[in-house]
């Protein structure tokens, strides 16, 4: 139960001096107020103040909860019943400088005007004494439609007007310097706001999920912070100042923008800055851009993207799931990146970074490429076939996720297929994997629901231990392996296994069976179980004369052949002949 004190002249000063016991001024049944120290060690008096104030020609009794701090008053609660409220400039002779809510949960507040649905205040006028609207001051005041802010105001703090879902407009004074994190978040009817010159801080999520349709950022702002305008689905136009240097993480994520031009002073475009802006068809990067973050334009409507000469860092998935994208161009003077046939590569063309999402049909990745970046082809649903080069070593996270591939041949030199590389390829039925594969990432072929056959030419690759398994959700898939390769059991990644018998015997790769051993040069022969195979040798392939060296019966489908006499010849070549 709150204590309440009916203020009489001099009471506050008596309490502060530790003077006479003020019990005679307490209302019946109330408790004495207590002194406490705030985080700065200053003495703060907590009290519920009954103030009778004159309001523009008429008088009204209003009940506020307040704290005093260094001779000023912060209002923390309104206990009256009026829906139109004017905050007094002074209470008991002390200036009211701030209004604050109280934190109820880590990300929620109790407003100074009550908690929903009991906060029915529709209009609030603040006096010229107020310099700060504190954390959660009007949080979740869903009936609030009008707020008059004074010219003395310098800061609007965290979540101050968050969830004021009926507030259609608010005029920010020219004295304002800072708009805090989430200050106007989820103000769904707030369509327009003029941010005055002099504001230097736009906090994280300041206008997140608000109803803004247009906004102009003043020249006093140099950075747009994390999620400042995220989820503003009605925001179709934004004017950025020449002073702007950086866009923070998700700063305009899932907005309704149709085009954006970054000023030349912008150096950094943050992670997911424009992710989910599906209507954003035109993006012009300024000449000063040096860094573009992970997924910066992912799931946007961009049609073409031109990378300026100064860009030296581009994050993975920068244009993934951009189904309208036809080409990516790179300035020829860029030292870090290059474009070939509209596809983005690093300068040396050893890493393929991004493929245009609107392309259809087949694509042959150029020779020399050793790595496919994370999300390089992600959600390129029109891509039905791809040829991977023999130079390839690594297939990155989600590289082909959601593509239209029906089959894939992974070359012999590929060492790793990373997390979700082929996830959600619903048309994929057949996979062939070369002998070099050492690591198969979690969910590599997750939810490839029509996958039937996966053929491995080498030993069973290692798997990460976390969920999902590489073949999770592939209920009809069977894993086939060559006899003589190792690490296979009756199941692999939850799928049944079966020996893979070829039409003719083969010599397994040196990755599976090393050639030079103490007993001589040798290799493993793989074919059908218990089948006889003749090994023949020749010293000259230009004019071969093949001689039988050994006959091998393939127990369980494989046998190891060794030639102790191989050092007697300058060179020797071998072939396998199935014996009838």
DSSP secondary structure letters along 264-288: TT--EE-TTTTTT-TT--EEE--TT
119 CB contacts (<8 Å, ≥6 apart)?
111, 113, 140, 141, 142, 143
> Would you list the DSSP string of 300-343?
---SEEEE-TT--EE-TTTTTT-TT--EEEE-TT-SSEEEETTE
Spell out the domain ranges in the chain: 360-500, 506-578
CB atoms within 10 A of CB 424: 20
Question: pLDDT tens per residue, the chain (580 residues)?
Answer: 333 322 222 222 222 323 333 322 222 222 233 333 333 333 333 443 434 333 333 333 348 889 999 999 999 999 888 899 999 999 989 999 999 998 887 778 889 987 666 678 999 999 999 999 999 999 999 999 999 999 999 999 999 999 999 999 999 999 999 999 999 999 999 999 999 999 999 999 999 999 999 999 999 999 999 999 999 999 999 999 999 999 999 999 999 999 999 999 999 999 999 999 999 999 999 999 999 999 999 999 999 999 999 999 999 999 999 999 999 999 999 999 999 999 999 999 999 999 999 999 999 999 999 999 999 999 999 999 999 999 999 999 999 999 999 999 999 999 999 999 999 999 999 999 999 999 999 999 999 999 999 999 999 999 877 778 999 999 999 999 999 999 999 999 999 999 999 999 999 987 676 666 666 789 999 998 888 999 999 999 999 999 999 999 998 899 999 998 888 999 999 999 998 7
Architecture of domain 360-500: Alpha-Beta Horseshoe (3.80)
> Distance between CA 139 and CA 108 in Å, rounded?
8
- Residue 559: in which H helix or E strand, if any? strand 558-563
The pair of structure tokens assigned to 548 is 């039988």
**All residues at 6 or more sequence positions from 156 whose CB lies less than 8 Å from its CB, including other chains:** 132, 133, 172, 176, 178, 179, 180, 183
**Token code pair at residue 348:** 């040396």
Residue 208: C-alpha distances to residues 185, 192, 205, 227, 553 (Å): 4, 14, 5, 6, 72
The pTM score is 0.83
Alpha-carbon radius of gyration of the chain: 36
Find all residues with CB under 8 Å of 175, minimum gap 6, and list them: 151, 152, 153, 154, 198
């Amino acid at each position: 139960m709150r204590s309440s004190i009916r203020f009489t002249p001099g009471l506050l000063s008596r309490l502060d001096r530790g003077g006479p016991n003020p019990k005679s001024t307490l209302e019946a049944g109330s408790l004495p107020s207590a002194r406490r120290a705030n985080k700065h060690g200053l003495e703060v008096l907590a009290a519920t103040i009954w103030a009778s104030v004159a309001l523009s020609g008429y008088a009204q009794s209003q009940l506020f909860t307040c704290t005093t701090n260094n001779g000023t008053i912060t209002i923390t609660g309104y206990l009256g019943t009026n829906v139109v409220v004017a905050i007094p400039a002074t209470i008991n002779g002390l200036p009211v400088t701030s209004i604050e809510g109280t934190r109820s949960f880590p990300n929620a507040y109790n407003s100074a005007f009550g908690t929903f649905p009991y906060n029915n205040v529709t209009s609030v006028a603040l006096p010229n004494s107020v310099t700060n609207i504190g954390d959660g001051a009007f949080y979740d005041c869903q009936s609030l439609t009008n707020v008059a802010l004074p010219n003395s105001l310098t800061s609007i703090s965290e979540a101050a007007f968050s969830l004021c879902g009926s507030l259609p407009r608010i005029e920010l004074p020219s004295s304002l310097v800072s708009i805090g994190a989430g200050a106007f978040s989820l103000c769904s009817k707030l369509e327009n706001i003029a941010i005055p010159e002099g504001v230097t801080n736009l906090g994280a999520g300041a206008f997140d999920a608000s109803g803004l349709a247009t906004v102009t950022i003043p020249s006093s702002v140099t950075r747009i912070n994390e999620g400042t305008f995220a989820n503003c689905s009605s925001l179709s136009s934004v004017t950025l100042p020449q002073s702007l240097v950086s866009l923070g993480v998700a700063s305009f994520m899932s907005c309704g923008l149709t085009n954006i031009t970054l000023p030349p002073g912008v150096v950094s475009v943050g992670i997911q800055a424009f992710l989910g802006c599906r209507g954003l068809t035109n993006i012009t990067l300024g000449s000063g851009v040096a860094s573009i973050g992970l997924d910066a334009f992912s799931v946007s409507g961009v049609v073409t993207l031109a990378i300026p000469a100064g860009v030296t860092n581009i994050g993975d998935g920068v244009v993934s799931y951009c189904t309208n994208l036809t080409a990516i161009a790179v300035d020829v003077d860029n030292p870090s990146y290059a474009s070939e046939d509209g596809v983005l590569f690093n300068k040396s063309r050893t890493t393929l970074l991004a493929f245009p999402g609107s392309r259809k049909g087949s694509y042959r990745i150029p020779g020399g490429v050793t790595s496919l970046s994370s999300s390089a082809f992600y959600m390129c649903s029109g891509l039905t076939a791809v040829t991977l080069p023999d130079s390839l070593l690594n297939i990155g996270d989600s590289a082909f996720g959601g593509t239209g591939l029906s089959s894939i041949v992974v070359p012999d030199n590929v060492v790793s297929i990373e997390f979700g590389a082929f996830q959600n390829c619903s048309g994929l039925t057949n996979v062939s994997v070369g002998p070099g594969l050492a690591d198969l990432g979690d969910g590599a072929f997750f939810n490839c629901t029509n996958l039937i056959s996966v053929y491995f030419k080498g030993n069973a690759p290692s798997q990460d231990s976390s969920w999902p398994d590489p073949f999770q959700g592939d209920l009809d898939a069977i894993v086939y392996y060559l006899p003589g390769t190792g690490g296979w059991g009756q199941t692999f990644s939850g799928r049944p296994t079966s020996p893979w018998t070829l039409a003719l015997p083969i010599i397994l790769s040196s990755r599976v069976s090393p050639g030079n051993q103490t007993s001589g040069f040798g290799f493993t022969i793989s074919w059908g179980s218990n089948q006889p195979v003749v090994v023949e040798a020749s010293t000259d392939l230009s004019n071969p004369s093949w001689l039988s060296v050994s006959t091998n019966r393939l127990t369980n489908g494989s046998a190891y052949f060794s030639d102790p006499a191989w050092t007697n010849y300058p060179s020797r070549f071998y072939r396998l002949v199935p014996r009838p």
